[in-house]
Amino acid sequence: MKHIENESLREAIIRRTQWPYGKRDVQYQSVDSTLPGIRDMDHRYEIMNFPETFEGETVIDIGCNIGMICIDAKRRGAKRVVGIDYRPETIEVAKKLAKELELEVEFYTFDVNDGLDVLKDLIGEEQFDHVFALSIWGHVDKPTLANLINYYTKTLCWFEGHCVIWSNDTKSAMEVEFENLLDFDYYEFLGETSDRSARQNYKLSRSSRVIMEERNKQVYFNGDIYKTVRGTYVEDNHGEPSVPEDVEYYSYKGKFCSFIAKKGDDYGYKIFIQDPAHGTDDHEEKKSRVEKIFKIQNILHEEGFAPKAHEIIICHDDQTFYYGIKVDNINGKFVETSKDWQDRFANVCKKHNISRDKDSFDFKPNNCIEQDGKIYMVDIDVRWKMA
Ligand SMILES: C[S@@+](CC[C@H](N)C(=O)[O-])C[C@H]1O[C@@H](n2cnc3c(N)ncnc32)[C@H](O)[C@@H]1O
């Protein structure tokens, strides 16, 4: 964080972004080591597991105060960042701070109690990848705030309650409120911040949780809860799958998609983590690609060459939104295919006008798994086309 040298800005931060206003001799959020607030943002980020990157994503912070969440999301690559708070003088300072830091953040004065229609007129109707609602729940009309959160959250809502003692925002009390007012399939308790008072932090998601390792640390999707065990990725799918005996969950990470499954389950999940050459940020485009893959895979399944695709799933990690498909879990060994198998496979593809990459089909299928004497092509991905 760049040190804020501008004296009048420093003074304004301390005097005009307090909460409750005028009752402290210091601002609410810490800005840097020379401007500590009554909330320690570093501590909060650690408890929340604040994402390392927001690359290409959109963020809104409801009750943003001086806007440190907005500023840090922008510094971590967010595409559009909006901060709203009902105190005009606080918003004025937030704007000045972002300007000083040369960051483009939209700050608006807005009273949560004015409701969704007023907010839509102010900031537009587009949803956000991340909605932050931290220590604001108890200051406003809850159903009205819940309505904003439910409407604007595309994938994740980061939520902090208030002091367990003053507000009775205990974990169980919060969870009852989530059930009653918030429209999420899943909430994850992240931990309790202790910089101000014991405050519960949650991540609310529209879908369930999967943990993958490396870049995609946490992937959420509308299936069961899955855990991937460190060290079970097979980067190069030639040879036998090296799933250790003692793991329950496993995954393969290909160039264009990852497959995750639980040993012995009937189904697994193929998630399309596209490489930059095929990558797109456009959700509609991602959706139409996965629909195409789904169709191709089921044609090849009916011809006896691929596992069945059951349904399209939506998933996301802390950073990116993906589509995937729920597919039959093929528990077998990777095998080299015979010339005869390859010819039959190529003929079926020709019959259905299916090809891979540059309209050609003169490649040697690599990712083939044999199970019960039958060979399945498993890596049908974004490169595949059907005329
Ligand atoms: C406890 S502070 C939390 C600030 C910030 N969300 C955080 O956790 O660091 C509450 C914030 O909510 C804002 N606030 C209170 N009532 C509000 C309302 N009706 N509409 C919008 N903002 C409000 C306050 O101005 C203040 O900045």
In whole angstroms, give the CA distance from residue 192 to residue 200.
5
- How far from the centroid of its chain's Cα atoms is residue 253's Cα? 18
Average pLDDT over residues 341-353: 91
Q: Where are the domains of the chain?
A: 7-206, 209-386
pLDDT over 60 at 242, yes or no: no
Q: Which residues sit with their C-beta closer than 6 Å to ligand 1?
A: 19, 28-29, 39, 63, 65, 85-87, 90, 111-113, 134-136, 139-140, 160
- How far from the centroid of its chain's Cα atoms is residue 288's Cα? 20
Q: Which of 112, 115, 119 is nearest to 138 (CA)?
A: 112
pLDDT in tens, 108-150: 999 999 999 999 999 999 999 899 999 999 999 999 999 999 9
Note the pLDDT of residue 24: 83
For residues 260 and 351, the answer to whether their CB atoms sit within 8 Å is no
Q: Determine the CATH number of domain 7-206.
A: 3.40.50.150
The phi-psi region of residue 309 (left if phi > 0; otherwise alpha if psi is between -120 and 50; otherwise beta) is beta
Q: Which positions ≥6 away from 378 have C-beta within 8 Å?
A: 259, 306, 307, 330, 367, 368, 369
Average pLDDT over residues 356-383: 76
Task: Using the mean position of ligand 1's atoms as its centre, give its distance from the Cα of residue 58 in Å.
Answer: 20
Task: Using the mean position of ligand 1's atoms as its centre, give its distance from the Cα of residue 111 in Å.
Answer: 9
- Residue whose Cα lies nearest atom 16 of ligand 1: it is 139
Tracing tokens 């090296």 back to the chain, one arrives at 242
- How far from the centroid of its chain's Cα atoms is residue 195's Cα? 27
Pocket test for ligand 1, best of 19, 71, 200 (most atoms within 8 A of CB): 19
Q: Is residue 73 very low, low, confident or very high in pLDDT (cuts 50, 70, 90)?
A: very high
Computed from CA positions of residues 86, 91, 94, 99, in that sequence, does the dihedral angle turn out positive or negative?
A: positive
